[in-house]
Amino acid sequence: MERLDYTRNYMEDILRKSQEDLLSANTKIKESMANVEYLDSSDSFINILTNSRFFELARTQKESLEAVRQKPYFARIHFQRPEEAEEFLYIGKTSLIHSETFEPIIVDWRSPVANVYYDGRLGDVTYCVRDEVYSGHLYSKRQYKIEDGTLLSFQDIDLTTNDELLQEALSGKADVRLTEIVATIQAEQNEIIRAHLRQPILVQGAAGSGKTTIALHRISYFLYTMGEHFNPQQLMILAPNKLFIEYIGEVLPELGVDRICQTTYAEYVQNATGIKLKLQDPNELLEQIIEDNAPLPTFNIPKVKGSMEYKTILDRYIKLHERNLASLFDEDVFIEKYRIMRGSHLKKLFLEEFAYMPIEKRLERIKKVVQTEVKRKSKAVLDSLNARYDEMIGKALNGFRDPEKRKRNVTRFIDERDERIPKIKAEIKSTVANYMRRFEKVKIKTMYRNLLTDRVLLRELAPEWSFEEQEKFIRTHAREKWALEDLAAIYYLHAQIKGVKDEWKMKVVFIDEVQDYSLFQLAALKTGLETDMFTMVGDLAQGIHSYRSLTEWDSVLKLFPRANYFTLQKSYRTTIEIMEVANKVLAKMDENLPLVEPVVRHGNPPTFVQNDEFNPSKIREIYEAIRKNGHRSIALICKTSDEAAYFAETLIEENLDVELLTETSELGQSKLLVLPSHLAKGLEFDAVIVAAFSFPYNDTPIDRKLLYVALTRAMHELYLVGPSEETFLLV
């Protein structure tokens, strides 16, 4: 308690001081502003800059301290570095150093030494600072429970004690959004958060193992460690949909991170290419597949368009375009009859020296080369012509006795010169433009549309496809239907032909639910961004879009040869009882994934409620019972959007406070949320009711996954409502 008081008092002092600093910086800025108007002095301008920087710094420090003033730290380590005195380090969400003694009052959880707290062991330990290994001895780890500035309890932990703080965190109620977990990060999660930052990582993690949470903590850790080299705007999180972005929205600021680009693949591609497309809802296709319940065709277009074979076809297309452009270099660059550059030289630049650049960037560079050469050589041309005319005029002046003849000749040369030189000068001005005009810029959308609609072109580019396959491919795009799987192709063509603009050239990418991506989507992104710094987390067991997306990780690891691969088997979300049911479904899947181990936490066994048809008053009864147990975030998850819409409508008639969730909904807590399983992916709720009537879950790959997703959304309570247990693949 003493330590807490000491820390809090010091923080209050600092906060008071920074408030004063802020006020004074603000006053100074105002004064300088006033001076600028009167004096226009650069001194005032510099004053503004200095003060506003100071203002920014003071404000950031103030904000981060204010955010933690009620809970400055959550743990303490008793630590000793070799040849140094033992010390107690208090770990919190921000760091605070005594301004006079330089004593670390709070150590940031992301700092190198804090790693020993998460790493699991007591005794001799090591930690890394910028790739250098340091050692020390860890005597003890202590966790604190502090609320509203008061110390409630503390506990020393080692490997054998049960992590009470974790237990408590897990038994808490689901806020409708994700929260930070800095106090209870587990060793296997810590390893991923702090895994080599300059290398890609791929995580196969069970449902509820903390993949999303870890990805977000890794961003925070990344910016803390590499912030000097990276602007947060160069980081991008790719999420499956808008609802998910809203769901994770508040964690990043809590973790001290903001201004980072959070988007979906579709939105990113459209922004980065400037091509707006009316996209078919990708879930429509999923729903159709679920409803049809028929096996997928072998030449399945979404899968084809997500494959690396499709990339090969596009590569041929780009090569064809490149060849067509290259043939235009057959002409040389002339000014009048003077050859300035050989086309063959430019062609070599285009096809070889500049081959590492996107095609239109190469042309821009070549234009510059031609410009420089025209500038240089045109002067020589004019100088030599002028000299020749001077010589000819001189000769004419001296060469003829007859004054008439002399006059005629001199005039002829002068006239010729006066006509020819300005013409050449005019030509010089337009030489570059005239030469470059032949290289027309392409419209990527048009170019790609040609591939989708032009049979002759397709036969040339995809000779390995049978006639029927080619026809099917062309038929799919009838009536300008753009699909999600066209985006990778468009982005890839854009990247290879025009190049991605700097503002969209993210340096670091975090992808959640990566199993829903196709290999080509990832490959296109990697090519366009020219980086492999990807953090990818996903779960094959939840791959409900596998008709068009990844079904294994080997190909991803081949695409990212430098990647470190991790697996997470423990689930922190669900109780043992709920996980048992979900594991039954997992065991039926073809992927051969190991069963999920729940962290030891018990709850009520899931309840099966037999109803022959959807009975809204039964749902009300269950809903009210759940609320009585103190749970607030409650979802009714269905297999399809149609059924969700029907249930929601029926429940509204029953006067139940219901919200039918769509991609653009805002997450509220006070209503019963009704949503289809594919939209629930990534989210979690205190309690879940899975209901299925018109659309029972069949024993097919896709249905097993949809059901597994639905079951694993529940933290504490699970109800299954339907005609029989078979509806939920439980017998």
Ligand X SMILES: Nc1ncnc2c1ncn2[C@@H]1O[C@H](COP(=O)(O)OP(=O)(O)OP(=O)(O)O)[C@@H](O)[C@H]1O
Which residues of the shown chain bind ligand X in the complex (CB under 6 A)? 166, 169-170, 179, 181, 184-186, 189, 205, 207-213, 539, 542, 572-573, 682, 684, 712
CB of residue 712 to ligand X, shortest distance in Å: 5
* 208 labelled ligand-binding: yes
CB of residue 169 to ligand X, shortest distance in Å: 4
CA neighbours within 13 Å on the CB side: how many for 579?
23
With beta carbons less than 8 A apart as the criterion, state whether 670 and 630 touch: no
Look up residue 720 and give its two tokens.
């299954």
Nearer to ligand X, 244 or 317 (CB): 244
Look up residue 408 and give its two tokens.
């005629």
Nearer to ligand X, 282 or 682 (CB): 682
**φ, ψ of residue 208 in degrees (nearest 5):** 80, 10
CB of residue 514 to ligand X, shortest distance in Å: 11
What sections of 40-94 are H helices per DSSP? 42-68
* 298 labelled ligand-binding: no
Q: Rounded distance, CA 529 to CA 527, Å?
A: 6
Q: Rounded distance, CA 510 to CA 512, Å?
A: 7
Nearer to ligand X, 189 or 262 (CB): 189
Q: Rounded distance, CA 103 to CA 89, Å?
A: 10
Q: Rounded distance, CA 716 to CA 711, Å?
A: 11
Residue nearest to ligand X (CB): 210
With beta carbons less than 8 A apart as the criterion, state whether 267 and 260 touch: no
Nearer to ligand X, 211 or 311 (CB): 211
Q: Rounded distance, CA 554 to CA 536, Å?
A: 13
CB of residue 672 to ligand X, shortest distance in Å: 20
Look up residue 314 and give its two tokens.
């596009």
CA neighbours within 13 Å on the CB side: how many for 429?
5
* 212 labelled ligand-binding: yes
CB of residue 516 to ligand X, shortest distance in Å: 11
Nearer to ligand X, 169 or 277 (CB): 169
Nearer to ligand X, 213 or 234 (CB): 213
Q: Rounded distance, CA 366 to CA 126, Å?
A: 54
- Look at residue 183 and give its three-state secondary structure: coil
CB of residue 35 to ligand X, shortest distance in Å: 52
Cα end-to-end distance, the chain, whole Å:
55
Nearer to ligand X, 194 or 311 (CB): 194
| DSSP label of 332 | P
* 488 labelled ligand-binding: no
With beta carbons less than 8 A apart as the criterion, state whether 549 and 515 touch: yes
CB of residue 513 to ligand X, shortest distance in Å: 7
* 206 labelled ligand-binding: yes
- Residue whose pair of structure tokens reads 């040869």 in the numeric block: 561
Look at strands 564-568 and 333-335 and give their pairing: unpaired
With beta carbons less than 8 A apart as the criterion, state whether 686 and 173 touch: yes
Q: Is the torsion defined by CA of 566, 570, 571, 572 positive or negative?
A: negative
Q: Rounded distance, CA 536 to CA 564, Å?
A: 10
Nearer to ligand X, 170 or 432 (CB): 170
CB of residue 571 to ligand X, shortest distance in Å: 7
CB of residue 244 to ligand X, shortest distance in Å: 9
Radius of gyration of the chain (CA): 34
Nearer to ligand X, 516 or 684 (CB): 684
CB of residue 307 to ligand X, shortest distance in Å: 25
CB of residue 183 to ligand X, shortest distance in Å: 8
Look up residue 252 and give its two tokens.
């990043």
Nearer to ligand X, 246 or 486 (CB): 246
Q: Rounded distance, CA 657 to CA 651, Å?
A: 8
* 528 labelled ligand-binding: no
Q: What angle do CA 383, 385, 390 make, to 5 degrees?
A: 95
Q: Rounded distance, CA 411 to CA 400, Å?
A: 13
CB of residue 575 to ligand X, shortest distance in Å: 12
- Look at residue 574 and give its three-state secondary structure: coil
Nearer to ligand X, 176 or 410 (CB): 176
Nearer to ligand X, 542 or 727 (CB): 542
Nearer to ligand X, 74 or 492 (CB): 74
Contacts 24+ apart (CB under 8 A), 540-543: 540/204, 540/515, 540/591, 540/593, 541/206, 541/207, 541/586, 541/589, 541/591, 541/593, 541/705, 541/708, 542/207, 542/513, 542/515, 542/681, 542/705, 542/708, 542/709, 542/712, 543/515, 543/516, 543/705
CB of residue 574 to ligand X, shortest distance in Å: 9
Q: Which residues does the annotation place in the binding site? A: 205-212
Q: Which residues does the annotation place in the binding site for ATP? A: 205-212
